[in-house]
Chain A
Amino acid sequence: MYVAVKGGETAIAHALELLADRRRGSRDVPELTLDQIDQQLAQSVDRVMTEGSCYDRQLAALAIKQARGDLIEAIFLLRAYRTTLPRFGHSEPIDTSRMSAERRISSTFKDVPGGQVLGPTFDYTHRLLDFSLMANGERPTAPTAPIDAAQIFPRVGDILEREGMLEPPPPADAGVSTQDITRDPLTLPASRPVRLQALARGDEGFLLALGYSTQRGYGNNHPFVGEIRFGAVPVSFVPEELGFPIEIAEIDVTECDMVNQFAGSHDVPPQFTRGYGLAFGHAERKAMAMALVDRALRAEELSEAVISPAQDEEFVLAHSDNVEASGFVQHLKLPHYVDFQSELVVVRALRAEVEARQQQAALDQAAE
């Protein structure tokens, strides 16, 4: 007999095998190694680590390979692994002023202490397909200045801040542990640290569109890139038994300090305000979009009218997570025939009532 979507054990097993087979693709083509993904698809790895909230290039590369390059699927894989890891504690806040920066630009000043460092960027590439990449030729190593680990890049924001032109960053709540959105349910209104966590994990495309909308008048942003920097920062941890921080790793991050105009008020002199973005690896688009949305979400705090989607905390936080969104959109593929049957029953009944009324009306009319 006809069996609807009832698949069963065997069908699923076969589907899994087929998927694994398709993932491998033609056996005539060498299989990708995780090192290749890590090195040559580095920005995919960066995105998966950022939105997967897990800094591990090998695991992210594995997730990308397993997901056939579907980055949202890879983010999902990495998160589902991360959630099972025991938690030993949390690191000290990273200090990006100690970054050994490979790239650092400011669009608010022509020159800044430490200088503008262009670094590896797509910004000035001409988007012409490079057919030389189709051939398997080796590429000469790019000329680079020797890295000066002692070189310190003072943050542009700090300089403006000293002048009182820019609001200081919110004070660190010493001893108060920030809520962890991967462990505690989100409650609204949310604090800025909670919002920033959600944005850091948030879907790049969603944040990009929202950030963009603020530039087009949906949110009253007048942003300047105070600074974008990318490079390695040390991570420290205080083991309970030692009581002082030890350096446990070095990670690459991209930071964006977005400077926004603020009109000031009767009592507060006009001052620039901040939007902040931070992402693992090299992810400028993400960090910038995050900074724009962070600033937009501060509307209420800064007594601005909340009228646009990007300013609406509940709307943004409830919809920024791509693993949640992807799951719920795609769950429509699951069978819904029980609900649909209920709808069929009622729609048929309603239609029958309307038809009966129409027939009756026609009879009444004929009788007149």
Chain B
Amino acid sequence: MPDTVQQNGHGEGAYNYAYLDEQTKRMIRRAILKAVAVPGYQVPFGGREMPLPYGWGTGGIQVTAAIIGRDDTLKVIDQGADDTTNAVSIRRFFARVAGVATTTRTEEATIIQTRHRVPETSLKDGQILVFQVPIPEPLRMLEPRETETRTLHALCEYGVMQVSLYESIARHGRIAKTYNYPVLVNGRYIMSPSPIPKFDNPKLDRNPALQLYGAGREKRIYAVPPYTSVKSLDFEDHPFEIERWTECCALCGSTESFLDEMIVDDTGKRRFICSDTDYCQERQDGQRR
């Protein structure tokens, strides 16, 4: 076969462009197409050992490595921020092995790899949002066995999830699940949106961007195509709600973004700022102009 290892010309000559060999990329690409064709279904894939630890974004990294090219502009966020250590580390990895342009601006990015957040800025047609997923199976904490959960998905038998949410209401008077809040995709598969706060769930619904989810350790890829219905599970008498803060961002004054709480002194004084650093910065820049 004529393709195999190619020099990438970025000083990492022993490795192929974007780290993965071409055969692996093809395997992942085939899995991605299946994932897009069956929204919310977890496609098993031959996940590879990546040079970053399992649980640190290897699924997202493999998905990104399989789709990224020289024309792309990559943004990487962790907890909404471009400057968290793991985001920096992953961005460095791709700058090194794929020689791509990177950005912190949501609107400039063609691929956004994220852990635990969906950007506040609306995404556009053509952008791809790659989620890092620790546990792809939304039913896992209710049923640890893969053989069982796979059957439940096949039968569309989601009573166990409904019961668990209802128990939460019985106990707390509300659904106390706050992140990794389960969603129903295209009316068929219950899906883990990854551990994003439920605040972000509404952004998944009918989003113009393509959402790809990669779980490296668990070796699963799933997807939500653009404009696809993503419904957070709820009950008629207990509709889905997102978090609200009484505070606003201390830096940009936003009352609409997800806020990080910081303890700023020994007396426990608190300050709230936007979790999405790009969104916050853009707003601050706008106010200065």
Q: Given known contacts A335-B79, A338-B197, what 14 new A-B pairs fall within 8 Å (CB)?
A: A6-B85, A7-B83, A11-B85, A76-B49, A84-B15, A182-B46, A188-B147, A323-B49, A331-B55, A334-B55, A337-B260, A338-B80, A339-B178, A344-B261
Proximity bits, A1-39, B CB within 8 Å = 1, else 0: 010111111011000000000000000000000000000
Q: Which segment, of B67-75, B86-94, B157-165, faces chain A?
A: B86-94
- Report the Cα distance A5→B83, complex, angstroms: 9
Q: Do residues A82 and B46 form an inter-chain contact, with CB atoms below 8 A?
A: no
Residues 172-202 of A, flagged 1 when their CB comes within 8 A of B and 0 if not, give 0000000000111111110000000000000
Q: B-contacting residues of A (Cβ < 8 Å)?
A: 2, 4-9, 11-12, 76, 79-80, 82-84, 86-87, 182-189, 314, 318, 323-324, 326-331, 334-339, 341-346, 350, 353
Does B84 have its Cβ within 8 Å of any Cβ on chain A?
A: yes
State A342–B134 Cα separation when bound (angstroms): 18
Contact between chains at B146 and A331 (CB < 8 Å): no
Q: Does B217 contact A (CB under 8 A)?
A: yes
Complex partner residue of B21 from A4, A84, A344, CB under 8 angstroms: A84
The A interface is mostly helix, strand or loop, or mixed, namely helix
Residue from the list A185, A329, A338 in contact with B116, Cβ < 8 A: A338
| A338-B54 contact, Cβ under 8 Å, with A9-B92, A79-B49 | no
Give the bracket for the number of chain B residues in contact with chain A.
Answer: 35 or more
Name the distance in Å between A266's Cβ and chain B's nearest Cβ: 29
Residues of B within 8 A of A353 (CB): 173
Given A84-B16, A341-B259, CB of A5 within 8 Å of CB of B85: yes
A318 contacts B197, CB within 8 Å?
Answer: no
Please report the C-alpha to C-alpha distance between residue A5 and residue B45 in the assembled complex, in whole angstroms.
33
Question: How many angstroms from the CA of A290 to the CA of B47 in the assembled complex?
Answer: 24
Q: Judging by beta carbons under 8 Å apart, are B53 and A187 in contact?
A: no
**B44 in the interface (beta carbon within 8 A):** yes
**CB proximity of A346 to chain B, nearest CB, Å:** 5
A335 partner residues in chain B, CB cutoff 8 A? 78-79, 84-86
Contacts of A11 in B (CB 8 A): 85
Q: Is the CB of A327 within 8 A of B45?
A: no
**Residues A6 and B146 in contact, CB atoms below 8 Å apart:** no
Interface positions, chain B 12-60, Cβ under 8 Å from A, are 14-16, 19-21, 23-24, 27, 44-51, 53-56, 58
Q: How far is the CA of A345 from the CA of B115 in the complex (A)?
A: 20
Within 8 Å of chain A (Cβ to Cβ): is B231?
A: no
Residues of chain A within 8 A (CB-CB) of B258 are 338, 341
Residue B219 interfacial (CB < 8 Å) = yes
Set of chain B residues within 8 Å of A7, measured between Cβ atoms: 83-85, 88
